[in-house]
Structure 1
Amino acid sequence: MASDGGHGVSPYTSGLPGPVAGRYRITGRLGRGGMGTVWRATDELLDRQVAVKELHFNEGLSDGEQQLYRDRALREARSVAQIRHPHVVVLHDVIEQDGRPWIVMELIDGHSLADVLAKDGPVEPREAARIGAAVAGALHAAHERGVLHRDIKPANVLIERETGRVVLTDFGIARVSGSVTLTETGVFVGSPEYTSPERMSGATAGPESDLWSVGVLLCASVDGHSPFRRDSIGGVLHAVVYDDIRPPASAGPLLPVVSALLERDTGRRMGAVAAELWLRTYAETGEATGTGHVPTVIRDTVIPPDPGPEPAQDPTPPLTPSPFPVGAPRERGKSRRGVLVGALLALVLGAGVTAAVLAMNGDDGSAGTAATPRPSSSSPAPSAAHTTRTAAPVPAGFRTVTDASGFSVVLPSGYDRSVDPPRIFYYSPGKEFRFGVRNEVPDPNGPVAVMTAQHRGGAAAYKGYRDGFVTETTKDGGPAALWEFTWDGYPGGGARRTFDLCWTENGRQYDIWVSSPVEKSEQGRRTFDTARDTFTPR
C-alpha cells in the first residue's frame, strides 16, 4: 500500500512510532488521511517491506466511540483478508497496540491515481480503461465474497511504479454481509462526489453502488476531477441525486461504458463482469465498438458475437437508455426535496465523528395519457399480464398524446404527427427530435434477441454506426431490451444519438425510439425516458 493522502506530521505520534508488536519497525511515513496514517515498515521477522496503517482516534471520543473505531479496523481486516485477487491489496496482519488497531498490508511501490492526476493531469482513455478494468475485476472478486467497498475514488487506487499494476485498497468503510455498518449508527462515510444516488438518498445499497463509483472514477481519470464536483456538499448532493449527468467530452470512446455505469436506475446499471470485459477489450485493442453487452448487476452477461445481422429497416435510428440519465425519473413517492434532505441529514449526522471524511478530496402525429412508473429495483415487479399504471404529473413543456392507432404517450408540446406504416412518428419543428413507434407480431425469440440483431446489423443499416450497446431491462414488469447508439445522421444534419426500447405486451411487440442531435442527446434522453415511462397501449 502506498499513499493514503495528506502531508505533515501526525498529531497521533511524535516523529516515528516505535516498533509495532515488537516486529514491525517503522522507517517512514507514506501518507495520512482522515481515517489513519500509513507508515512504511520492515517486518523484522520475515525481512520484508510492508505498509502499516495506524488508525486515528480523536481523544475526545467516548469509550463506545473508540470501540466503534476498533470494530471498524477489524472489519477492514476481515474484508480484505477474504479477497484473493491481483488487483486487491494483500493484508498480512492486524494487531492492537496501546489500545489502537494497526493493519499490516503489502507495500505498493508507486502512487495513487489521485497523485497521478494532481501531478501529471488526466490520463488517456485507454489507460483509464486499463485502470477501470482492474478496479471492476477487484470489485467482482469482493462482491462474490459479500464485501462492498463503498469508497471507490482515485486516492484508493494505487499504481505500482515498475509494473503498472493497479491495486484497489482501503476497504476501511466496506460492508461485509451480515455485519453492522457505520451508516447504521447514523454516520455517513465516504466521498460524496463518488457516492451513488441510492446511498446519498439513504436507500439500501448493494454491489451496483460500487459500480456507479467506477463510472465516476473513469470520468475523473480522463478529465482530472469528478463530474459531480461542486462548491458545497449540498451542491454535490444535488448533482448526484438530481441534476442532469454530464460526462466530460474527454470520456470520448469510454462513453458507452461510462453511461451504462452512471445509471441512476440500479436495475439498468452495468455490472462488474460486463464492465471489466468492455474496458479490458478497449484497453487492449483500442476498439470501442463491437463489444455488445448486457449491463445488469443481477446477471453479468455479455452478448456473444454472432453472424447474420438483421439490418434495421427504419431510417430513423431507434433508441436505448442513454448512459447518462439526464432527467431520469426519481423514485415515485419521494420528492426531489425529500431525497436531498434525507441525504443532507445522513451527512450532518455523521459530521460529529467523521467530519474529515466529508472533505472534498421521420414525420409526426398527436394525441393524452397515463404515466407508467418504471419498476424499482427494490420492489417486486408486477406481472406483465396485470400491470397497474399510476398516473404521474405531465412535465412542464410536455403534453399527453392519445394516438388514433391505439396508444397514448407524453411528448414535448409542438410535435407533429406523420405515418409510414407500420411506423408512426412525432417530430419536433424542423425534425430535430424524432419519436417513433412500431407495433407488430412478437418475435418468438424475445426483445433481447430482436435488439441484439439490430445492434449486430447497425453498421450496415446506419452510416458511421458507433458506441452501440444493448441492455436487458423491463417495461411494466415484463422483459424488454434497450438499444442505444450514435450514427452520422441524415445528409447535412450531423451525428445523432438514438435510444430504442423493445418489449411485448398484450400479444403485440412494441418498439419506441427517440433520436436527437448528439450535442442535444441529454434532451433526447429526457424525452425518451418520459415516453418510456408513459407509453400505454390502448
Structure 2
Amino acid sequence: MGTEGDNVRVIGGRYRFEARIGRGGMGVVWRASDTLLGRQVAVKELGLDDSLSEDDARQQRERMLREARAVAQLRHPNIIVVHDVVLHDEHPYIVMELISGGSLADRIARQGPVDATEAARIGLALLGALRVAHAAGVLHRDLKPANVLIEAGTGRVVLTDFGIAQVEGASTLTETGGFVGSPEYTAPERMAGERAGAGADLWSLGVLLVAVLTGESPFRRDSLGGILHAVVYEELRPPAEAEPLLPVIQGLLQREPARRMPLDEAERLLRAYIATGATPQPAVPYAADALRPTYTPTRYDVPPAARRGRSPRVLLVAAALVAAVAGAAIAIAVLLSQQGTGDNAPPGSPGSSSRRPSGSASSASPSPTPTVTVTRRETRTETPRASAPSGYRIADDPGGFRLAVPKGFRREVDGPRVFYLSPGDTFRIGIKVTDTVGGGPGEAQRKSAADGPKNNPGYRAGKVTDTTHDGRAAALWEFTWNGFSAAEGARHTVDLCWEQGGRMYDVWVSAPVGEAGRGRAHFDAAVDTFVPSAGD
C-alpha cells in the first residue's frame, strides 16, 4: 500500500512525505501531505533498534504502537493532535497535526529567556496537558523546551514528542533496553534507576521553568556524569530571574517524589501569579531541599548517601547508569548562555603590560545571561576542598594557591594576575591576589565595574551583587562585552572577589557568549576548589 521512488515516499496509501523537519528522541519527523483529506501533517518515523532479535523487534514495534495509540486518545488544546498510527514496511509511524511555528528551545535561542508572566503562561498550559495525559495513564518522560511548540500567530503552547511516552503499568524501553530521555530534564528517581510515576514529569516541568526564565537548564554540565551528579546530589540555587516563580519551582524540584508539589497546587500558584503578578506561598511549605534563591557553585565531591537521604543501592544504580547512558544515543537539548574585567584581560590585551594576538573567534551572537549569586554557607565553617572533577587537574600555583583548571590549559603571568588559558585563548581563567582594600569586595568590584567601559570594549549588562563565599564577605560581578577584536567576538565574564586571611582574592572566567555554559563550569570548578596556601 505504499510507494517509494523518485525521492517520494507514501505510507498508509495517503501520507506523502515532503521534507524532513526535525528529529525527536525516538525518530525523525517529516512534513507530509494527507492526500485523502488534502491537508498538511507531521509524520514521526519511529526508530527501531536493529540489533534486536526478530522477536524482540516485534515486541518493540507492538509496544511503540500501543503507546502511540494511547497518546492518540488524548484530547487537549495543549497536546499535539495525533491523527493516525501506521505500520508500514514493519516500521511504526505517528501522523500528527502540523504546527506552524518553532519549538520553545528555538524561541529561547533566538530571543533569549522569557519573563515570569510568559513562563507562568507556558507552565500553566503544560500542566493542563500533563493533567489529561496523567489521567489517561500516559507519562511523557521527555518534557523539555525542544518538545514544546509555540504556534505562530496564536502563541498556543503545544506539548509534542510523546515518542518515548510510557503507559503506566506497561513494560517500556527503559526497563527492557537502556535509558531514554534528556538527562538535564530527567527526574532524579529515573536517573537513579528507580521506577518513576507522574511526579517525574512535574520535576521536568520545574527544570523547564528555570530554563525558560534563565536561558539554560540548571543542570547543564559538560559531561553526562556531571549532569547525573547535579541532578541527583547537588544543591541548586536558581538565579534571580527565577525568584518570581520560586515557590512553584522549589516545590516541583523536590528530589523525593513524595514531597514534590502536586499538579493542582502548581496550577493554583501559576494562575495566581498571572492574575496578580505575585506568587502566593504554597499551602504546604516546601523546604529548600533542592533549591534556594541564589546559585551555589557545583560541588564535585560526592556527598555521602545519608546527606541526601538516599540509600547506598541508589548510589550503585546511579553509577551503573552513567556507564549505561554513556554508550547510548541521547538527545540533549543544549542552550548555552554566556561568559570578561579590566582584570580579566589576558596577557597582550588592552590594559595589559604585554601584547600578544588572541587566537579566539566566535560566530555566536550575544544572548541574555542568567544573573547568579555565588553563595555557599552563611556560617564560617571550613570545608575540605574537592579533588579535580573529570577533565580537570589541580594546579598548585607558585602564587600561593591551588585550584582546578581544565587539562591542557597553560599558565601565564601578567603582572599581579595569573592566567590559565585554553588553546587559542578561547577560555581564560584569571586569578589576582592583593591586599585588602577599604570598603571590601563590594567596593572593589563596583570600582572595576565603573571602569568596565574603559577596559572592556562594548561593555554592557554589568551587575555587581554583594554575597558571601564560604561565609566571608564577597561580591560577584558579571558582564558581557565585545572582546578585544572583531575576530574574537562577544564574550561574557563571571568574576568573584572575596576577603580571606587579610588578603583579597579575585577569580574570574571569560568565555565566548556562545560557550558560556562551559565557561560557567570552569568558573564553578575554579571557585569551588580554590584554596590559598595560607589559612585565614
Name the TM tier (shorter chain): 0.5 to 0.7
Q: Aligned match of 2:283 in 282, 285, 294?
A: 294
Aligned pairs for 1:320-399 (under 5 A) are 321-322=287-288, 324-325=290-291, 332=309, 334-335=311-312, 339-349=314-324, 354-357=328-331
Aligned residues, how many?
Answer: 334
Cα distance per residue 1:205-233 (max 9 Å; x no partner) = 11111111111000110111100011111
Identical aligned pairs, as a percentage?
54
Letter in 1 for 2:151: E
The answer to whether the Cα contact below 8 Å between 2:237 and 2:291 also exists between their aligned partners in 1 is no
Aligned-partner SS, 2:170? coil
Does residue 114 (structure 1) correspond to residue 89 (structure 2)? The answer is no
* Cα distance in structure 2, aligned partners of 1:85 and 1:130: 16
Superposition TM-score, scaled by structure 2 size: 0.57
C-alpha separation between the residues in 2 aligned to 1:174 and 1:239?
24
Structure 1 length-normalised TM = 0.56
| 8 A Cα contact 2:183 2:332, kept in partner | yes
**How has the CA–CA distance of structure 1 residues 348 and 126 changed in structure 2, closer, same or farther, with 3 Å as cutoff?**
same
Q: C-alpha separation between the residues in 2 aligned to 1:221 and 1:15?
A: 42
Q: Is the 8 A contact 2:236 2:290 kept in 1?
A: yes
Distance in 1 between residues matched to 2:152 and 2:214, nearest whole Å: 22
Cα deviations across residues 1-41 of structure 1 (Å, max 9, x unaligned)?
Answer: xxxxxxxxxxxx98854111110122222212342111111
Checking the alignment, whether the CA contact within 8 Å between 2:24 and 2:161 is kept in structure 1 is: no
Query: Per-residue CA shift, 1:54-86, capped at 9, x if unaligned?
Result: 122455544245335413431331231232211
2:91 corresponds in structure 1 to 100
Q: Does 1:126 align with 2:113?
A: no
Are 1:140 and 2:115 matched, yes or no? no
Q: Are the equivalent residues in 2 in contact too, given 1:149–1:171 (CA < 8 A)?
A: yes
- Find the aligned partners of 1:57 and 1:521 in 2 and give their Cα distance: 50
1:277-321 deviation line (CA, Å, top 9, x unaligned): 222332344x224x34336xxxxxxxxxxxxxxxxxxxxxxx861
Query: What whole-Å deviation, never above 9, does each CA across 1:478-514 have from its counterpart, x for those lacking one?
Result: xxxxxxxxxxxxxxxxxxxxxxxxxxxxxxxxxxxxx
- Give 1:347 deviation, angstroms: 4.7
Q: In 1, distance between residues paired with 2:32 and 2:41? A: 5
Matching residue of 1:515: none
* 1:16–1:283 CA distance, 2 compared to 1 (3 A): farther
Query: 2:157 pairs with 147, 151, 166, which one?
Result: 166
Distance between the aligned counterparts of 1:94 and 1:203, measured in 2? 31
Matched-pair contact (CA < 8 Å) for 2:103–2:146: yes
3-state SS of the aligned residue for 1:122? coil
CA distance in 2, matches of 1:54, 1:124: 35
- Would you say the 8 A contact 1:79–1:171 is kept in 2? no
**Aligned: 1:192 with 2:183:** yes
Residue of structure 1 in register with 2:361 after alignment:
none
8 Å Cα contact 2:46-2:91 kept in structure 1: yes
Q: Deviations over 1:88-145 (max 9, x none)?
A: 1111100111111111011111111111112221111111111111111111111111
What's the offset of the Cα at 1:350?
5.3
* Separation in 2, partners of 1:213, 1:320: 17
Deviations 1:327-362 (A, max 9, x none): 996565614xx534412423533565x42446868x
Alpha-carbon separation, structure 1, partners of 2:194 and 2:247: 26
Match 1:267 to one of 255, 258, 269: 258
- 1:4 corresponds to: none
**Given that residues 187 and 351 in structure 1 are in contact (C-alpha distance below 8 angstroms), is that contact kept between their aligned partners in structure 2?**
no
Matched to 2:138, the amino acid is: V
RMSD value over aligned CA atoms?
Answer: 3.3
Secondary structure, aligned partner of 2:254: coil
* Pairwise CA distance, 1:159: 0.6
Q: Give the CA deviation at 1:268.
A: 2.1
Unaligned segments of structure 2, at least 5 residues: 293-302, 336-376, 383-465, 472-536
What secondary structure is seen at the aligned counterpart in 1 of 2:95? strand
Superposed displacement of residue 146, structure 1: 1.4
Distance 2:87 2:33 in 1: 17
Show CA shifts across 1:149-198 (max 9, x none). Answer: 11111111111001100011111222212211112114111111001111
Contact 2:103-2:148 within 8 A present in 1 as well: yes
Tell whether 2:194 aligns with 1:203.
yes
Contact 1:91 1:106 in 2 (8 A): yes
Conservation of the 8 A alpha-carbon contact between 2:180 and 2:330: no
Distance 1:150 1:141 in 2: 15
* Alpha-carbon spacing, 1:18–1:343, altered in 2? closer, same or farther (3 Å): same
The amino acid of 1:334's aligned partner reads S
Query: In 2, distance between residues paired with 1:212 and 1:235?
Result: 18
Code of the aligned partner of 2:111:
D
Contact 1:35 1:357 (8 Å CA) reproduced: no
CA distance in 2, matches of 1:522, 1:259: 23
Pick from 207, 212, 215: which aligns with 2:206?
Answer: 215
